[in-house]
A = this chain, B = another copy of it.
Amino acid sequence: MDDNALINQKINQAVEILTEIGIDTWLTFVRETNAGGDPILPLIYGHDLTWQSALILTSSGKKIAVVGRFEKETAESLGAYQVLGYDEGISEVLRSTLMDLKPQFVAVNTSKNDVLADGLSHGMYGLLTDYLAGTGLAENLVSAERLIGALRARKTPLEIERIKTAVRTTEEIYRQTFDFLSVDKTEIEVAEFMHRQVKIRGLETAWETASCPAVNAGPDTPVGHGAPTEIRIKPGHIVHFDFGVKENGYCSDIQRVVYMLRSDEDHAPLEVQHGFRTIVQAIQQAVAAIQPGVMGIEIDAIARAVVIDAGYPEFKYATGHQMGRIVHDGGTLLGPKWERYGNLPEQVIEPGHVYTIEPGLMVPAYGYIGIEEDILVTESGAIFLSEPQTELILLR
């Protein structure tokens, strides 16, 4: 029921954004979503759809779902859509429904830049243009990228509450993990402990469980999206974590670092401290610069410069991404202008956006330092959703 309320809010928000961006009609066209499906569905529908189905929203507030007859009741239970059922084929009812709306544009879920605005498969795009042949509508298909980017990015109060809950849970599991952590445990053993904490709470990891958490002990561990290894935690290791949960459909994504003291140490070596302070500074400066209207690329440049100016190699990924129903939630990216990021770094930051901030660097002979905080953009700048790590955690 709470879910239905949230979905109805997002649907109404979509109607507002349609007006704002001057597109009159938005069509989400899907089938057998159980096999993957369009990532927009959890936001505006909340169930799988089996036969070819269309969700249509207009800037004038019309909300129409065309679904297979067996799914009519489910569609109606959401209380948002006028539901049209069909039996043998969708083409006729889809065509006539769209023609009645006399749309100037029909925005569809296709985007070269943003995977989350690109839920329309190439085959379904072909089917759609076949179905619309002769209506003149196929020529007015446009990308819903801006709409979907805004809809995913502008979190409602209900969505922010859910993200906060996921962040709190993640911090709690981190605390338990730091109590559990000790010399001679393997990365895999630590990851298994964290998986148990996720399972006990009836939750899922925020991304593929095999690499959530990432646990990186010392200088020889492969850093990236890989799975934890049999490497054992030793004194003199930096231990780096990247971890998040999905709770009530919303994600967290937090990195933390620990230093394992050697028997003769009571603080971390200077080069480890230097690396740690560099990352904390990169985060603080990036977060301080976040304001509505700023482009993602500007924030990325700030964090990136702090790391490079301190004498470290440039990190090979974006400083931060949006977070929501999916851990990499698309739209504006706090990233550099690299081919694989498309135009996302040049899009702007708005109130209600939630980002990660996650610069990183390698300290030779000790290991990887990456800290990742989750932040919310407000009218007056960013606030931390996670309690930022500003001190290196020292364990034996």
- Which A positions have Cβ atoms within 8 angstroms of B? 31-32, 34-39, 47-48, 50-52, 68-74, 77, 87-91, 108, 110-127, 130, 207-208, 210-211, 222-227, 316-317, 326-328, 330, 338-340
Which chain B residues border A338 with CB–CB below 8 Å?
88-89
5 other A-B residue contacts (CB within 8 Å) besides A74-B211, A112-B130:
A70-B317, A77-B226, A88-B340, A90-B340, A118-B123
- Give complex CA distance A123, B109 in Å: 9
* A76 → B minimal CB distance (Å): 10
Tell me, rounded to whole Å, the shortest Cβ–Cβ distance linking A210 to chain B: 7
Q: Is the CB of B339 within 8 A of A35?
A: no
Contact assessment for A71 and B225 in the assembled complex, using a CB-CB cutoff below 8 Å: yes
The answer on a CB contact under 8 Å between A35 and B116 is yes
Q: How far is the CA of A116 from the CA of B339 in the complex (A)?
A: 29
With both chains docked as a complex, state the minimum distance between the C-beta of A345 and any C-beta of chain B, in angstroms: 12
Nearest-Cβ distance from residue A336 to partner chain B, whole angstroms: 8
B51 touches A340 (CB 8 A): yes
By DSSP majority rule, is chain A's interface helix, strand, loop, or mixed? Answer: loop
A272 to B340, CA, bound (A): 61
Contacts of A73 on B, CB cut-off 8 Å? 222, 224, 226
Residue from A39, A112, A116 whose CB has the most chain B CB atoms within 10 Å: A112
Chain B residues closer than 8 Å to A108, beta-carbon distance: 122
Per the bound structure, the CA–CA distance linking A116 and B121 in Å amounts to 11
| Complex contact A36–B119 (CB within 8 A) | yes
CA gap between A167 and B114 in the complex, in Å: 39
The reply to whether B71 and A327 contact each other, CB–CB distance below 8 Å, is no
User: What is the distance, in angstroms, from A147's C-beta to the closest C-beta of chain B?
Assistant: 14
Residue of B nearest to A91 (CB): B339
Q: State in angstroms the CA–CA spacing of A7 and B167 once bound together.
A: 35
**Is A69 a contact partner of B316 (Cβ separation < 8 A)?**
yes
Give CA–CA (A77, B50) in the complex, Å: 35
Could you say which of B51, B77, B110 contacts A122, with CB atoms under 8 Å apart? Answer: B110
A89 to B227, CA, bound (A): 23
Task: Give Cα A211–Cα B47 distance, bound, in whole angstroms.
Answer: 10
Q: Are B34 and A316 in contact, with the CB atoms below 8 A? A: no
Docked pose: A90 CA to B208 CA in angstroms = 23
| B residues in contact with A115, CB < 8 Å | 31-32, 35-36, 121, 123
Residues of B close to A125: CB separation below 8 A? 122
Which chain B positions have C-beta within 8 A of A69?
224, 316
Which residues of B sit under 8 angstroms from A38, Cβ to Cβ? Answer: 36
**Chain B residues with CB below 8 A from A124, complex form:** 112, 118, 122
Within the complex, the shortest CB–CB distance from A107 to chain B, in Å, comes to 13
From A38, A114, A125, residue with most partner B Cβ within 10 Å = A125
B50 touching A225, Cβ below 8 Å: yes
17 CB < 8 A contacts A-B: A31-B115, A32-B328, A35-B115, A35-B116, A68-B225, A69-B224, A69-B316, A73-B224, A74-B211, A89-B338, A108-B122, A110-B123, A112-B123, A112-B130, A120-B122, A121-B121, A122-B122
